[in-house]
């Protein structure tokens, strides 16, 4: 039986091998993207428009962070809590804390302004840098999906402006704090630090 000559071997088509390798790379990338999506906790699988830009923001970008979710208002007896929230954010953001603000006009008509006016007020009055989203409803049938789920998990919904939900880095444990609990409250800080410490352990083990 005649063996293929060196010339025959040289002209053997190579593109089927390249096609197979390309297909494998595409499948691997697709599987990786699906796995990454699946890592995002169900609680964070929501998108809201940025208060400042109106651009949709996927909350999954905050997966692995400890979150403090707050419904806010510009004309409330608790409005000065903006300062405490910003101080908390700046102090602990490098350790993994993110404060998320959701302006709402649900209580006492205390957030009547446009998104632009709210953004300007927060920036100019309190120097707010933590992420904030467009005005929304946080109670009742029109409430947004995140606050509906936070209510379901804790059994508590906001009764007034500046209610706070503290969420651990896994997006599983949620604690609820009423409006009268300031951002520097001892219990809130202790629970937040526990979650930040647990986050460090989680990162080391992954």
What is this structure's pTM?
A: 0.82
Q: 164 near 191, Cβ under 8 Å?
A: no
36-49 pLDDT, tens digit per residue, is 445 899 999 999 99
By C-alpha distance, which of 81, 76, 84, 61 is closest to 111? 76
* Count helices and strands in the chain by DSSP H and E runs: 6, 6
Active site residue 76: yes
Helix (H, G, I), strand (E, B) or coil at 62: helix
Which ranges of the chain have pLDDT less than 70? 1-38, 206
- Give the pLDDT score at 33: 42
How far apart CA 49 and CA 65 sit, in angstroms, is 20
Catalytic residue among 40, 60, 76, 122: 76
Interhelix angle 115-126/81-92, nearest 10 degrees: 70
43-72 pLDDT, tens digit per residue, is 999 999 999 999 999 999 999 999 999 999
Q: 70 near 99, Cβ under 8 Å?
A: yes
Half-sphere exposure of 188 (CA within 13 A, CB side): 21
CA 27 to chain centre: 28
């Amino acid at each position: 039986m005649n063996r293929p000559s060196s010339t025959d071997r040289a002209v053997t088509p190579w593109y089927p091998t390249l096609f197979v390798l390309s297909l494998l790379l595409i499948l691997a990338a697709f599987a990786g993207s699906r796995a990454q999506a699946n890592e995002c906790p169900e609680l964070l699988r929501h998108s809201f428009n940025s208060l400042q830009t109106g651009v949709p923001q996927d909350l999954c970008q905050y997966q692995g962070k400890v979150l403090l979710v707050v419904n806010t208002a510009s004309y409330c007896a608790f409005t000065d809590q903006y300062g405490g929230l910003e101080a908390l954010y700046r102090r602990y953001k490098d350790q993994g804390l993110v404060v998320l603000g959701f302006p709402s006009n649900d209580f006492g008509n205390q957030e009547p302004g446009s998104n632009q006016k709210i953004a300007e007020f927060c920036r100019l009055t309190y120097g707010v840098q933590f992420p904030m989203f467009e005005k929304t409803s946080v109670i009742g049938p029109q409430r947004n999906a995140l606050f509906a789920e936070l209510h379901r998990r804790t059994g508590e919904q906001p009764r007034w402006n500046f209610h706070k939900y503290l969420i651990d880095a896994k997006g599983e444990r949620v604690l609820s704090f009423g409006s009268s609990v300031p951002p520097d409250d001892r219990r809130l800080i202790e629970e937040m630090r526990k979650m930040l410490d647990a986050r460090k352990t989680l990162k080391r083990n992954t």
